[in-house]
Structure 1
Amino acid sequence: MSVRKRKWTTANGEPREAWIVDYTDGKGDRHLKTFDRKKDADAYHATVRVEVREGTHIADSETVTVKEAGGKWLESGKADGLERTTRDQRRQHLTFHIEPFLGKLRLSKLSVPVVRAFQDRLRAEPYPDDYPVVRLRGKSRSGDMIKRVTVSLGSIIADAQERGLVARNAIRDMTSRRTKGKVRKGERRQKARLQYGVDIPTRDEVRLIIENTQGRYRPLLITAIFTGLRASELRGLRWSDVDLADARLHVRQRADKYHAEKYRVDHDPIGMPKSDAGQRSVPLSPLVVNTLREWKLSCPKGKLDLVFPNSKGNIEYHANIIKRGLWPAEIAAGVVVPTGEKDKDGAPIMRAKYTGLHALRHFYASWCINRRADGGLELPGKMVQERLGHSSITMTMDVYGHLFPSTDDSDALAQAERSLLTPVSKTADAT
């Protein structure tokens, strides 16, 4: 293994020189790599020497492009049995965000500066005109999207590492322990807390929604309000997992976003919850029990045994639940905000205030947290985590920690102060 200078003359008679790194890899194969500057050659020589000794070196000629590695990554996802939703998200990240900028680059050329430049380009350039989500076309990518694409790129490199196609993972090098701490602190500072009346429906709004919910979506919305199930969990809930006698339901599966009538032979729309913690038991309030008992008599029957199916007994579209269930209930309840437009008579056009079912999940979390004196359940944080099916208490506290009642009230502080400053002898005499 050596670094040497090479001089030659081109066909046009021009003198040239370069620095050559000559080395043998762990397999005994000889490799030559050329550099314009001795400084770069020496740096590469030092890196290769360590990698060869540790058995991690991959020569440039033995690696693949990011596009090729991405294709193998997609194949791995299918072989591992990932849900179709997850596989489609991976394909979108690769096709629309990674390949246009890094597709032709070899994995061995990926470095922290290259990844940072890639993130800058994602931030600067808009979604392409053929992006599947029409409303995002031509708009800037959000910080959250850039973060998720970066995670996918790291996953592609990790898959390639396991195949022996690259030695280092630039994404993991970039997110070292020190840097990750700074990034997370910055994200927490920028992330606004959930607010009542903005992200979380108030108690009065929920009461009005319940009073004005009608038809086949009423059981689903009431269950969502008083159990906090995710939309996918509601759509995949089976009657066999609902124990009305014991007033409890069990979350054991969820439905992906694809309709049961259109899934392919190689795709099952029903899968496991998001995590092991997602499999849980949730108690039911009397209103939910009575509503479900009545609904069971008229619920469409199907082979999937679903509690909230469509009219044919199959998985209901998520969009139908929102547009035909949640939004009409909010509008009927007067839980609306102006769209900024006016009708032909000049009156403002209103829309539903809360656009998704997750708002009802937020309400359930707040209901679990609030004091009993305020109409809540006053559950401890660990129990709230279990009810919501979060994978960790950290996730629960990061999202809902500010909703927990404060224990540093002035009265409590004054009482604790008096107790601390009162001599023990006086306390004993008083007793």
Structure 2
Amino acid sequence: MGIRKRKWKVDGVEKECWVLDYAVPNGNRERDANGKLPRLKRIVKSFPTQKRAKEEAEKLAVAKHHGRQSTNTKLTVAKAGETWIEASRVRLERSTVAQYEQHLRDHIAPHIGQLRVAELSSDVVKRWRQKLVANGTSLPLVKKVTTSLSGILAEAMENHDIGYNVVAAMGRTRRQEAKTEERQKRDVKAGRDFPHPKEIDKLLEHETSPKWKAFWLLACRCGLRSSELRGLRWTDIDLKAAELTVEQRIDRYQKKGNPKSGGSRRTVPIPPGTLKALRIWNLQATPGAELVFATSKGTPERHTNIIAERLIPAWLRAGVTKVARDKDGRPVVTAKYTGLHAFRHYAVSWWLARPDTGLGLSLHEASKRAGHASITLTGDTYGHLLPRSDETATMAAAEGKFG
């Protein structure tokens, strides 16, 4: 395959183009009686610019690479997705597999599931992604679903069904998406993503249950995840040393397991007020109960039940609400915060705040307490919450006499 420039004259006017010259199999590729393959067919194409000729050459190279290694030309995207899901069950957590199933069911199969994997191209993938966005899918979700499609193709490559992962080759597009997503990303903010201190005080003031008061306090003072709170055992708490150790979690399927990551296994100090609430609950809890926040039957609390039956009613009782509109436009009072992760955001913000309103911890210390995989994650999410000193005097001195 080669690209060359061609020039000629027509009525004294010089013209030029770029020629792509390549060969393809000519019909049957079986060897003859002498063991020789038939001669290749020569193809010559002309293009107005060198760029167009190079683009065509790249497409041909990809198609050649794809065709040579592809062994299952009838495999559809939907079928390849099912194979990928089954392979994921062996190595990934159930919740992660459930997320992949949703991606395949709701965003991949309905649009491109009927296509053969061999038919996928960058143009097909781009049009699919544009359709998702047009249908109201957020850019972060489109990015996640695209990653799932890439996983499907990677699994097909590993099974020697295809020889080319078109999504993995679209690196430039993914980098541009990352920049767009970064521009659209909002910093977590008090009053929107997590409660103000006064709102936490209202919640605790109106909570009459010792069990749930201890639960809210552990969530907002120790920063435990929902799964970690539901998996917390009395043996993980040292009431004398005023600290707890995160050793296990219970996922949304009520399955006990190890913490989310290596960094999630950690020891967290318990503040005095939270420790007092835990002591009170310890005296009233079912004797011999393993879990700190078990149901009356000793089973783990379900995340959805905590939200619907405990958290939202607690915010409503405390008057921490907002006014929304129903489908008929009538005002409806709802809880201002409807997720447990808001407490985790609050905990980190409280750790980083100045000692008069918080603990004044460093970013490194807060990252360790939160059980984040890296300090980079903590910094990217909460770095803007770090208190800043008043630099007015310093800047004035540095400016000099004439500014």
TM-score by length of 1: 0.74
Distance 1:185 1:43 in 2: 26
2:385 to 394, 397, 403: 403
Q: Which amino acid aligns with 1:402?
A: H
Alignment pair present for 1:310 and 2:320: no
Distance 2:389 2:169 in 1: 42
Distance 2:201 2:190 in 1: 14
Structure-2 change in CA distance of 1:84 and 1:291 (3 Å): same
Q: Which amino acid aligns with 2:294?
A: P
The alignment partner of 1:173 has SS state of coil
Give the percent of matched residue pairs that are identical in Structure 1 and Structure 2: 38
Q: Is the 8 A contact 2:322 2:335 kept in 1?
A: yes
Q: Which amino acid aligns with 1:336?
A: T
Deviation at 1:97, TM superposition (A): 1.5
Distance 2:140 2:75 in 1: 28
Q: Which amino acid aligns with 1:280?
A: R
The alignment partner of 2:189 has SS state of coil
Deviation at 1:302, TM superposition (A): 7.6
The residue aligned with 1:202 is 196
The alignment partner of 1:287 has SS state of helix
The alignment partner of 1:372 has SS state of coil
The residue aligned with 1:102 is 112
Give the gaps of 5 or more residues in structure 1. 2-18, 25-29, 126-139, 261-268, 422-431
Q: Which amino acid aligns with 1:76?
A: A
Q: Is the 8 A contact 1:369 1:377 kept in 2?
A: yes
The residue aligned with 2:143 is 147
The alignment partner of 1:213 has SS state of coil
Q: What is the number of residues matched between the two proteins? A: 361
| Equivalent residues in 2 for 1:170-185, closer than 5 Å | 170-176=166-172, 179-185=173-179
The alignment partner of 1:171 has SS state of coil
| Equivalent residues in 2 for 1:287-306, closer than 5 Å | 287-300=273-286, 305-306=290-291
Cα deviation, 1:38-80, whole Å, max 9, x if unaligned, reads 689966654466x49xxx9513645732122212111111222
Q: Is the 8 A contact 1:368 1:384 kept in 2?
A: yes
TM-score by length of 2: 0.79
| Equivalent residues in 2 for 1:86-101, closer than 5 Å | 86-101=96-111
Distance 1:168 1:277 in 2: 36
Alignment pair present for 1:391 and 2:376: no
1:78 to 89, 97, 102: 89
Alignment pair present for 1:337 and 2:322: yes
The alignment partner of 1:167 has SS state of coil
Distance 2:256 2:359 in 1: 32
Alignment pair present for 1:321 and 2:306: yes
Q: Please provide the CA RMSD for this pair.
A: 3.4
Q: Is the 8 A contact 1:322 1:355 kept in 2?
A: yes
Q: Is the 8 A contact 1:214 1:329 kept in 2?
A: no
Distance 1:222 1:118 in 2: 46
Structure-2 change in CA distance of 1:250 and 1:20 (3 Å): same
The alignment partner of 2:168 has SS state of helix
The residue aligned with 1:238 is 233
The alignment partner of 1:150 has SS state of helix
Cα deviation, 1:392-423, whole Å, max 9, x if unaligned, reads 222212221211112462134346x39x99xx
The residue aligned with 1:65 is 76
The residue aligned with 2:127 is 117
Q: Is the 8 A contact 1:83 1:271 kept in 2?
A: no
Deviation at 1:370, TM superposition (A): 0.8
